[in-house]
Amino acid sequence: MGKMAAAVSPVAILATEPGEDAFRKLFRFYRQSRPGTADLGGVIDFSAAHGGRSTGPGAQKVVRSQLSVSSVSEQDAHRAGLKPVSKWQAYGLKGYPGFIFIPNPFLPGYQWHWVKQCLKLYSQKPNVCNLDKHMTKEEPRDLWEQSKEFLRYKEVNKRRPRSLLEKLRWVTLGYHYNWDSKKYSADHYTPFPSDLAFLSEQVAAACGFQGFRAEAGILNYYRLDSTLGIHVDRSELDHSRPLLSFSFGQSAIFLLGGLKRDEAPTAMFMHSGDIMVMSGSSRLLNHAVPRVLPNPEGEGLPHCLETPLPAVLPHGAVVEPCSSEDWQVCASYLRTARVNMTVRQVLATGQDFPLEPVEEQKRDVTPDFCHLDDQNSHVKRARLNLDS
């Protein structure tokens, strides 16, 4: 076995470059980290009981979280493709009240549905995406149909241009987020997907948030060279309701910091199927994704995605069948990508949006840039961090 490359510890990084805040230092450190070295030794891995795979100081922060098992029936959990809540593992972090991490609670095969929805259904009109400004009114808007043959034969011709799906960076659902004003509005809304709303309601209830309403969603589509800059999600008008995050595909490093960027963040892995819930005091903390990690076994899928969706689905399931042809396209995409769904409740019960000036209402809601940054892009893009 070859000699392991020397690595610099996050502690040493924090002692350098005094003019830069602690979060930015560690963001840069993990963005440039080398898998297979000690660079990732301090990253918490919740998929091992009590974060047992991490030997760094972060592992000592891990605590068990209690879930509201009786709030979600086994039938409703199954309808959403989830294991019974009694079978879930849930963790928190000392110093981060309201943060809950649930390692992959999905039943075997059921992630297929959510991946397919993100790529085939949620990317379509009337939902809004970063590609809208690059497409004329005459062009068809079915990104799936335009991309599936490219992706299906991707391994045959790796030098071909990227398909439209591979150029997709974000999609908004429900109340569509305005990247310019960093606000939601009543007049820019399309129906929120009922299956994703049901999934979100079950997860929120299991975490103690009965009556959660899924009103807005932001889907991020990451390539291996993508990052998500440091930001705070504060645009929702009701911060007492949680933010739910669902990850699928390749793993990534997530950084959770404090109210200010001079507080050093805690690093953790997000694997396919993992769910994060940010609520309470953790709802308005700085966070970021500095790195998507390539599969150590090459361009393969995480093992949890190798099991197909069952042919017979439970009565009343919100999950739909996934054909082998559709999954072939999804699998080809995910070999070098990950997808993240964040779901939010925008308004408190009985609350309305404040009236906006006419000038504000006329602003364009889909500027020609997005908040995901590709490190190797040859075109310099403005980076937009969510709400920061």
Q: Determine the structural domain holding residue 326 and report its residue range.
A: 43-344
What whole-number distance in Å separates Cα of residue 142 and Cα of residue 62?
Answer: 43
Residues of the chain falling short of pLDDT 50: 1-5, 50-52, 156, 361-370, 376-388
Is 278 among the domain residues?
yes
Q: β-strands 62-64, 287-292: how paired?
A: unpaired
Task: Answer whether residue 314 is part of any domain.
Answer: yes
Amino acid residing at 310: P
Distance, in Å, from the CA atom of 138 to the CA atom of 121, rounded to the nearest integer, reads 20
C-alpha distances (whole Å) from 346 to each of 106, 302, 366 are 26, 33, 19
Please report whether residue 370 resides in a domain: no
pLDDT tens profile 55-105: 556 678 899 999 999 999 999 999 999 999 999 999 999 999 999 999 999
- The SS3 of residue 296 is coil
CATH number of domain containing 144: 2.60.120.590
Task: Let me know if residue 65 belongs to a domain.
Answer: yes
The pLDDT score that the predictor gives to residue 13 is 62
Residue 231 annotated as binding site: yes
User: Is 287 annotated for ligand binding?
Assistant: yes
Q: Say if 15 falls within a structural domain.
A: no
Note whether residue 216 is domain-resident: yes
What total of structural domains would you count in the chain? 1
**Cα 167 from Cα 361, distance rounded (Å):** 28
pLDDT of residue 124: 93
The pLDDT assigned to 355 comes to: 77
pLDDT at 269 (0 to 100): 95
Whether 36 maps to a domain, the answer reads no
176 assigned binding-site residue: no
d(CA 373, CA 75): 40
- Whole-number pLDDT of residue 239: 87
What pLDDT score was predicted for residue 373?
A: 67
- pTM of this prediction? 0.87
DSSP letter assigned to residue 321: -
Q: Distance (Å, rounded) from C-alpha 160 to C-alpha 374?
A: 19
Q: Determine, yes or no, domain membership for 106.
A: yes
Provide the CB-side half-sphere exposure for 314 (13 A, CA): 16
